[in-house]
């Protein structure tokens, strides 16, 4: 059974159009966080839903969204960001994999908030930028990630991951514990596929495009 993919749109910097198009093509469900709907509609993309308190989305855009059959989810909880609410909504809907556009770049405080909001949920989350993907990996799941020989990638534990196995790279790991720090910076791909698996904790993979 294939994974069900959700795409969450935020108002930060979106990557170039080829990346955006691939994310939309792969998505089973697209949800914009408040004002990100403006950007999506301007680029000609249709969303399944918009979520937030609707203080940033233009009224004419919201009307057009509804005319196209899009849902409006009012979420005014001030204890969570719109992105945090969207993550919980997607997980409640049963999605296995979440792609994110506009989550990094721009406001640095929002960027860190977005990353840690994603760490806090038990779901595959990938942030897309022009240069890289930031993939929050799940424990007890084997990842086979396509790459090119010579690509440089990094792994960061938050705050620790145990029994980490990494193959297909210059510095392989076998049943290692990776703690918060810089040990996982700048490993090098030596095969067409990097394989990663760990038992517990949180792990972020930063991989170039």
If asked whether residues 42 and 103 sit together in one domain, one would say yes
Query: In this structure, is the dihedral angle defined by the CA atoms of residues 113, 123, 20 and 34, taken in order, positive or negative?
Result: negative
The count of other CB atoms within 10 Å of the CB of residue 15 is 21
**Residue 137 belongs to some domain of the structure:** no
C-alpha–C-alpha distance, residues 32 and 41, integer Å: 10
C-alpha–C-alpha distance, residues 202 and 204, integer Å: 7
| DSSP letters for 6-39 | EEEE-SS----HHHHHHHHHH-SEEEEETTHHHH
If asked whether residues 153 and 121 sit together in one domain, one would say no
C-alpha–C-alpha distance, residues 46 and 44, integer Å: 7
Q: Domain limits at 103? A: 5-130
In the chain, the largest separation of any two C-alpha atoms, in whole Å, equals 55
C-alpha–C-alpha distance, residues 30 and 38, integer Å: 14
Q: What is the pLDDT of residues 58-100, one digit of tens each?
A: 999 999 999 999 999 998 777 788 999 999 999 999 998 999 9
If asked whether residues 32 and 105 sit together in one domain, one would say yes
If asked whether residues 81 and 168 sit together in one domain, one would say no
pLDDT surpasses 60 at 1: no
pLDDT surpasses 80 at 2: no
Q: What is the pLDDT of residues 142-152, one digit of tens each?
A: 999 999 999 99
Question: Which token pair is 97?
Answer: 């994999």
- The CATH number that applies at residue 179 is 2.60.120.320
If asked whether residues 110 and 200 sit together in one domain, one would say no
If asked whether residues 41 and 126 sit together in one domain, one would say yes
If asked whether residues 115 and 178 sit together in one domain, one would say no
If asked whether residues 28 and 74 sit together in one domain, one would say yes
The total domain count for the chain is 2
CA atoms in the 13 A half-sphere facing the CB of 171: 13
Q: Supply the pLDDT for residue 3.
A: 79
* Upstream peptide bond of 56 is cis (omega within 30 degrees of 0): no
- Look at phi and psi of residue 35 and say left if phi exceeds 0, alpha if psi is from -120 to 50, else beta: alpha
Domain boundary among 103, 130, 157: 130
Instruction: Report residue 25's pLDDT band, with 50, 70 and 90 as the boundaries.
Output: very high
If asked whether residues 126 and 151 sit together in one domain, one would say no
Question: Which token pair is 135?
Answer: 């993939």
Q: Supply the pLDDT for residue 75.
A: 87
pLDDT surpasses 80 at 140: yes
- The CATH number that applies at residue 80 is 3.40.50.10240
């Amino acid at each position: 059974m294939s994974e069900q993919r959700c795409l969450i749109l935020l108002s930060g910097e979106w990557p170039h159009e080829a990346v955006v198009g691939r994310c939309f093509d792969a998505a089973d469900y697209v949800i914009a966080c408040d004002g990100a709907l403006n950007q999506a509609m301007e680029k000609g993309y249709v969303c399944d839903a918009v979520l937030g308190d609707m203080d940033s989305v233009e009224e004419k855009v919201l009307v057009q969204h509804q005319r196209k059959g899009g849902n409006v989810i009012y979420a005014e909880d001030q204890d969570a960001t719109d992105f945090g609410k969207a993550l919980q909504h997607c997980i409640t809907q049963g999605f296995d994999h979440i792609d994110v556009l506009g989550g990094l770049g721009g406001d640095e405080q929002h960027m860190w908030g977005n990353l840690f909001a994603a760490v806090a949920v038990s779901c595959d989350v990938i942030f897309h930028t022009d240069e890289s993907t930031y993939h929050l990996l799940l424990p007890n799941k084997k990842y086979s990630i396509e790459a090119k020989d010579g690509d440089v990638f990094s792994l960061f534990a938050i705050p620790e991951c145990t029994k980490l196995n990494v193959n297909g790279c210059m510095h392989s790991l076998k049943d290692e514990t990776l703690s918060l720090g810089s040990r996982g910076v700048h490993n090098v791909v030596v095969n067409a596929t990097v394989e990663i698996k760990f038992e517990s904790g949180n792990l972020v993979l930063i991989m170039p495009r």
